[in-house]
């Protein structure tokens, strides 16, 4: 089967797997234990923390290892909001956030916080002026994802960061899809907090990290937690974190090379799509992750396309993996102004470093066959 769903997850890299195995054998101690075996594990954990921070220009003291991107988003947002609740009750996010962010804001609304959702244009980009107008005197946090996981649109974080710094408002971003794919510099952008995940960059699943700048106040979601400086409960996954850092380093070292590869693959699909009047490619043409393509075939539900492609040997998705099984149309698509029927047409393909031009050529031929068969069925 040809795998074109790397935005959902990636296969673990051989180097990361070797590191995970070796660390599991040699550094099996609990990093919180006071004996030498525990101290050895803690030393490796702190080195992993330091190395990870260098990849987004953060302070190692602000890196907290977690179980993945969703937990990182939840813990970061809730901890920061509770740690700054005395300053205000107003929060801002967008209509197109990942479910882990959207659901966290629903929880905070139930706690009495006021949440404003900034709309996006037809390509998924927010208007910074609309954000400016939404700011209030008691706004304490803005959370805007770096890139949309369904259509790949990248938000203008640096411009947003400059605006929020002018008003002294904290800025969080879900960077799960962008970490390791495009440069992230929290200092240059003006980010106070980010969330990242291991399995999106060829590391093990169940591993991630949250970064909160050391000068930002936060309050633990579970008071009395002892691990990760009280940020999170549970024994720290030292082997997983070491493997995560190993995988991330490989991705970042090859970032420019991989980006060029993804653009070549994207252009091959786009050359096909522009000649098919029933195919609509969604998202921002200028500012996007080249490895993610969200598209529609007019009049055909995305789930049907996905199942037909699966039958032909291609793994694709109909949107974010965290929303699979839900009957409602894509929230992102509705936010772009698409009708519910159009939103259900969404199909997402996402490339990985092992995806070849032949893979995309074969995919295009399979898609042509499906579109042709549908045209024939309607004409009969």
Q: Respond yes or no: is residue 322 known to be catalytic.
A: yes
Are the CB atoms for 185 and 56 separated by under 8 Å? yes
Residues 280, 322, 366, 374: which is the catalytic one? 322
Sign of CA dihedral 268, 271, 275, 279: positive
HSE toward the beta carbon, residue 222, CA cutoff 13 A? 11
- Catalytic residues, by residue number, are 322
């Amino acid at each position: 089967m040809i795998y074109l769903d790397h935005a959902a997850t990636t296969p673990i890299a051989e180097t990361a797997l070797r590191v995970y195995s070796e660390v599991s054998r040699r550094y099996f101690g609990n990093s919180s234990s006071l004996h030498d075996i525990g101290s050895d594990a803690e030393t490796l954990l702190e080195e992993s923390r330091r190395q990870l921070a260098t990849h987004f220009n953060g302070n190692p003291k602000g890196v907290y290892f977690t179980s993945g991107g969703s937990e990182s988003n939840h813990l970061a947002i809730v901890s920061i909001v509770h740690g700054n609740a005395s300053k205000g009750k107003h929060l801002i996010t967008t209509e197109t956030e990942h479910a882990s962010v959207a659901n966290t804001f629903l929880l905070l609304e139930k706690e009495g916080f006021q949440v404003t959702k900034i709309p996006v244009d037809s390509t998924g980009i927010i208007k910074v002026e609309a954000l400016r107008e939404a700011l209030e005197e008691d706004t304490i946090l803005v959370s805007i994802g770096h890139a949309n996981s369904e259509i790949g649109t990248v938000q203008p974080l640096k411009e947003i960061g400059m605006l929020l710094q002018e008003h002294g408002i904290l800025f969080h971003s879900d960077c799960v899809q962008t970490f390791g794919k495009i440069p992230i510099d929290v200092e240059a952008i003006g980010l106070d907090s980010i969330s990242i995940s291991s399995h999106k960059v060829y590391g093990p699943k169940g591993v991630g990290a949250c970064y909160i700048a050391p000068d930002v106040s936060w309050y633990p979601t579970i008071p009395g937690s002892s691990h990760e400086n009280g940020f999170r409960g549970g024994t720290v996954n030292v082997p997983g974190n070491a493997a995560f850092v190993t995988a991330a380093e490989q991705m970042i070292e090859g970032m420019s090379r991989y980006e060029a590869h993804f653009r070549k693959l994207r252009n091959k699909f786009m050359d096909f799509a522009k000649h098919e009047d029933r195919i609509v490619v969604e998202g921002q043409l200028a500012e996007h992750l080249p490895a993610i393509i969200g598209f529609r075939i007019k009049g055909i539900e995305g789930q049907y396309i996905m199942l037909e492609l699966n039958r032909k040997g291609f793994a694709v998705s109909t949107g974010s993996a965290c929303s699979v099984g839900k009957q409602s149309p894509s929230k992102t698509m509705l936010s772009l102004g698409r009708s519910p029927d159009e939103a259900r047409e969404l199909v997402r393909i996402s490339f990985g470093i092992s995806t070849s031009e032949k893979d995309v050529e074969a995919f295009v031929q399979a898609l042509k066959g499906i579109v042709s068969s549908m045209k024939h069925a309607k004409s009969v």
